[in-house]
């Protein structure tokens, strides 16, 4: 069985920062990558709110630098998806999808969150054929076309603004008249002649045309009227859900929405297991906050091991 002092599950900003602190404290540190090396941030083309950089960088550039920093310090990475933690005996045993088992004296869960979908049958039907959740990944395919972004948060606005670089027209479809997004993002979108708002509307259906998307039908939430909008791409950006399924059968407490419940020092309900970043934060899903929480969780893991508890 592989052994490490501190195993960090996730290689986004929270996991990488936790790893930097853990390895610099002299502990054998292993990061389990999961399926998204670098986490969600690699999907953003322009990051302007991470301190320390005068000009915007892409999420990929920041995560690549964090990974290289970790590697230079001696952090080990392994592409493994965790399916379960056996937390009743010490060391903890981490079970991976591959069948591999890893013994850990302390664990930091930093597994982030995953995209939420509308839940429409037609959304499933056209997934990858006009329905996407990532403008950075798929925007290029819609050069000169009309698309929509569903959502009213910062990510939705970022996606819409990015898409205006390729697309002829971008609708922002939102079920309310007001937005969760920051004013600066909303102002940028309002000033962009390629963006048109479709407000107080939900997506009723995504309609096909030659096996790909040809239009959407939206429904006004107030008068229930339907309207069809011709377009080729639908980018869903309505929020995320924490990736904590691997903890469901353990005694690590989760909130009603599935986030890991942590105290102010990022301790979970199981001593020796800590959590940080989007998987443990219902309210503030930002890279700098995830990084800070990762540092805090690692400092607590270090203290736990230094006190001989693990």
Ligand X SMILES: Cc1cc2nc3c(=O)[nH]c(=O)nc-3n(C[C@H](O)[C@H](O)[C@H](O)COP(=O)(O)OP(=O)(O)OC[C@H]3O[C@@H](n4cnc5c(N)ncnc54)[C@H](O)[C@@H]3O)c2cc1C
Contact status: 110 vs ligand X (CB under 6 A): yes
Could you say which residues in the range 180-239 bind ligand X, by CB under 6 A?
none
Contact status: 268 vs ligand X (CB under 6 A): no
Residues in Cβ contact with 40 at an 8 Å cutoff, skipping those fewer than 6 apart: 12, 59, 112, 113, 240, 278
- As measured in angstroms, the least distance from the Cβ of 201 to ligand X is 22
Q: Applying CB under 6 A, which of residues 232, 243, 266, 268 lies at the interface with ligand X?
A: 243
**From 137, 187, 209, 263, active-site residue:** 137
Contact status: 12 vs ligand X (CB under 6 A): yes
Q: Applying CB under 6 A, which of residues 4, 6, 20, 44 lies at the interface with ligand X?
A: 44
Rounded CA separation 123/126 (Å)? 5
Catalytic residue flag (residue 182): no
Contact status: 242 vs ligand X (CB under 6 A): no
Q: Do the Cβ atoms of 13 and 290 come closer than 8 Å?
A: yes
Q: In what order do the strands lie in the sheet with 233-236?
A: 131-132, 233-236, 146-150, 169-174, 195-199
How many alpha carbons fall within 13 Å on the CB side of residue 62?
Answer: 29
- As measured in angstroms, the least distance from the Cβ of 50 to ligand X is 6
Could you say which residues in the range 142-161 bind ligand X, by CB under 6 A?
155, 158
Residues in Cβ contact with 94 at an 8 Å cutoff, skipping those fewer than 6 apart: 7, 9, 32, 82, 84, 85, 86, 101, 102, 103, 104, 107
- As measured in angstroms, the least distance from the Cβ of 48 to ligand X is 7
Rounded CA separation 56/49 (Å)? 8
- As measured in angstroms, the least distance from the Cβ of 251 to ligand X is 18
The SS3 assignment for 156 reads helix
Contact status: 36 vs ligand X (CB under 6 A): yes
Q: Applying CB under 6 A, which of residues 10, 130, 139, 153 lies at the interface with ligand X?
A: 10
Rounded CA separation 7/9 (Å)? 6
Q: Applying CB under 6 A, which of residues 7, 8, 41, 298 lies at the interface with ligand X?
A: 41
Taking the CA atoms of 120, 126, 131 and 132 in sequence, report the sign of the dihedral they define.
positive
With 0-12 / 13-18 / 19 or more C-beta atoms within 10 angstroms meaning exposed / middle / buried, residue 119 is exposed
Contact status: 266 vs ligand X (CB under 6 A): no
Q: Do the Cβ atoms of 41 and 59 come closer than 8 Å?
A: yes
- As measured in angstroms, the least distance from the Cβ of 282 to ligand X is 12
Stretch that binds ligand X, among 31-39, 167-175, 180-188, 260-268 (CB under 6 A): 31-39
**From 138, 148, 201, 279, active-site residue:** 138
Could you say which residues in the range 84-103 bind ligand X, by CB under 6 A?
none
Stretch that binds ligand X, among 36-44, 173-181, 184-192, 256-264 (CB under 6 A): 36-44
Stretch that binds ligand X, among 105-113, 168-176, 198-206, 259-267 (CB under 6 A): 105-113
- Beta pairing partners, 115: 240
- In the bound state with ligand X, the residue whose beta carbon lies nearer, of 43 and 215, is 43
Rounded CA separation 39/24 (Å)? 22
Contact status: 39 vs ligand X (CB under 6 A): yes
Q: Do the Cβ atoms of 148 and 173 come closer than 8 Å?
A: yes
Residues in contact with ligand X by CB under 6 A are 9-15, 32-36, 39-41, 43-44, 47, 49-50, 81-82, 110-113, 155, 158, 243, 246, 277-278, 285-288, 290
Question: What is the set of active-site residues?
Answer: 134, 137-138
């Amino acid at each position: 069985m592989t052994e490490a002092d501190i195993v960090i599950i996730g290689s986004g900003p929270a996991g990488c920062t936790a790893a930097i602190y853990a390895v610099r404290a002299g502990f054998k540190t292993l990061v389990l990558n999961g399926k998204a090396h670098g986490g969600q941030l690699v999907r953003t083309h322009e990051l302007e709110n991470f301190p320390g950089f005068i000009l915007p960088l892409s999420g990929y550039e920041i995560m690549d630098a964090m990974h290289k920093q970790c590697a230079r310090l001696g952090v080990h990475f392994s592409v493994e998806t965790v399916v379960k933690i056996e937390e009743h005996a010490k060391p903890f045993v981490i079970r991976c999808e591959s069948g591999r088992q890893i013994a850990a004296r302390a664990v930091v869960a930093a597994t982030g969150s995953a995209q939420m979908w509308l839940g429409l049958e037609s959304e499933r039907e056209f997934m990858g054929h006009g329905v996407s959740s990532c403008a950075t990944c798929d925007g290029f395919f819609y050069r000169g076309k009309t698309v929509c972004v569903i959502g009213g948060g910062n990510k939705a606005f970022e996606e819409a603004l990015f898409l205006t670089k390729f697309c002829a027209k971008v609708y922002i479809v939102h079920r309310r008249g007001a937005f969760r997004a920051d004013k600066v993002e909303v102002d940028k979108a309002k000033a962009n002649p390629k963006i048109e708002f479709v407000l107080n509307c939900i997506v009723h259906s995504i309609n096909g045309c030659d096996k790909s998307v040809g239009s959407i039908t939206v429904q006004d939430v107030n008068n229930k009227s339907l309207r069809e909008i011709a377009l080729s791409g639908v980018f869903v950006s309505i929020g995320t859900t924490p990736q904590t399924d691997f903890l469901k059968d353990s005694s690590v407490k989760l909130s009603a929405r599935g986030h890991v419940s942590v105290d102010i020092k990022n301790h979970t309900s199981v001593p020796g297991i800590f959590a940080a970043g989007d998987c443990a934060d219902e309210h503030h899903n930002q890279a700098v906050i995830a990084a800070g929480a990762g540092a805090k969780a690692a400092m607590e893991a270090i203290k736990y091991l230094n006190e001989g508890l693990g």
